[in-house]
Amino acid sequence: MGATGYVGQELVRIISGHPGFDLAGAFASEGRAALADVPGAGGVPVAGIEALQQRIASASPGAIVFLALPHGRSQELAALLLGMGAKVVDLGADFRFRDPAVYERWYGETHRAPQLLGEAVYGMVELNRSQIVDARLVAVPGCYVTAATLAARPLIDLGLVREGPVFVDGISGVSGAGKSPTQRTHFVSANESVGAYALLGHRHTGEMVQNLGREVLFTPHLAPLTRGLSATCYLPAQPGLGDYQLRDGLRGYYQESPMVEVVDGPPSSREVYGSNRVRIHAAFDARTGTLLALGVIDNLTKGAAGQAVQVANLMAGYGETDGLATLGVWP
């Protein structure tokens, strides 16, 4: 659902090449459209919400529905689909928080399906793998949150970070803003320009606070890229660390996570372009007593559609990496 957006189109691309999933239908609220003019979409027809309900009613038990919708749009629809026996993977923000007050704080509206928040599983596979397997409803994390959490969370869990706030600088390609054009994403505004936005209040901040267990000051930036995302996290360090401790600790932490690669130098988003891989790097600055944790992802893949398929693989009993490219496109 939401097949005509950038994330929806990425889902169509990945699922169409998946060895186990069959694309049973593509749907959008406006309906009656087609993806024939979208490169790689293969002319997949798009139907409306009524057709989605009819398709679920005739589907075998355990069908999985991906909701690639703006925040606020999945709440009532998820309840309907779960009641019909489907499993739901929500790529929006509607089920990422257990507390409806926290959702309201960051999204400015009352949650309309609070009864589902306790059941929803947070869909960061590297942290919640075992919970996702048996879930009916999974909330895929935000793109900035994915890169920042996977880079910074291990350092906190390994006891390498002192108490204190975490600072995060994020840079994203223009596709992260979605398909609907705005003044900020207009070519003339975005081309040859890098600029911060949503100062002191970006909605992904609350998710980072939830994941890191610390106060977070997050500053996002828009860069003239189609896709790609980088997060640089600054954390107060325990004294006397060495870089070998950081890299060895990170590699041990992610030894069972095939989509995470720890590298010896700062990575670039181009290295993971078109893949579901995240590359992370960490360094210790003794002069300021600060840990740097860097993470890069493709915002449409590991930051959205690819991570959703990674989640669905676990829900359906497939291999975690099935249907997901492990290497980026280069050059």
In DSSP notation, 33-90 reads: EE-TTSTTSTT-EEE-HHHHHHHHHHSPTT-EEEE---TTSSHHHHHHHHHTT-EEEE
Please give the Cα distance from 25 to 56 (Å, whole number). Answer: 10
In a domain, 326, yes or no: no
Query: Is residue 323 situated within a structural domain?
Result: no
Q: Is residue 260 located within the same domain as residue 308? A: no
133 shares a domain with 67: yes
| 327 located within any domain | no
Both 12 and 115 in one domain: the answer is yes
- Domain assignment present for 94: yes
Among all residues, which ones are annotated catalytic?
143
What is the domain extent for residue 151?
Answer: 143-299
Lowest mean pLDDT among 56-60, 62-66, 321-325: 56-60
Q: Are residues 64 and 206 in the same domain?
A: no
- Which region among 39-43, 142-146, 163-167 has the lowest average model confidence (pLDDT)? 39-43
Contacting residues for 102 by C-beta, under 8 A, at least 6 apart = 206, 210
Q: Are residues 280 and 168 in the same domain?
A: yes
Confidence of residue 327 (pLDDT cuts 50, 70, 90): confident
- Work out the pLDDT band at 36, boundaries 50, 70, 90: low
Residue 330 lies in a domain: no
Q: Is residue 54 located within the same domain as residue 154? A: no
pLDDT band, residue 43 (cuts 50/70/90):
low
User: What's residue 320's pLDDT?
Assistant: 96
Query: How many domains in the chain?
Result: 2
Residues 65 and 36 in one domain: yes
Average predicted confidence (pLDDT) for the chain: 91
The answer to whether the beta carbons of residues 234 and 217 sit under 8 Å apart is no
Q: Is 192 a member of any domain? A: yes
Would you state the structure tokens that stand for residue 74, as one six-digit string?
């999945």
pLDDT given for residue 297 in this prediction: 98
- Residue 256's domain is classified under what CATH number? 3.30.360.10
Whether residue 254 is found in the same domain as residue 312? no
Q: Is the pLDDT of residue 53 over 90?
A: no
Q: Does some domain include residue 158?
A: yes
Dump pLDDT digits (tens) for 88-132: 999 999 999 999 999 999 999 999 999 999 999 999 999 999 999
- Residue 57 within any structural domain of the chain: yes
Whether 46 and 189 map to the same domain: the answer is no
**Region 271-281 average pLDDT:** 97
Query: 168 and 179: one domain?
Result: yes
Count of C-beta atoms within a 10 Å radius of residue 180: 8
Q: Does 209 score more than 70 pLDDT?
A: yes
The answer to whether 167 touches 233, Cβ cutoff 8 Å, is yes
Report the pLDDT value the prediction gives residue 189, as an integer from 0 to 100. Answer: 84
Alpha carbon distance 3, 212 (integer Å): 32
Statement to judge: residues 288 and 307 lie in one domain: no
Q: Do 173 and 236 fall into the same domain? A: yes
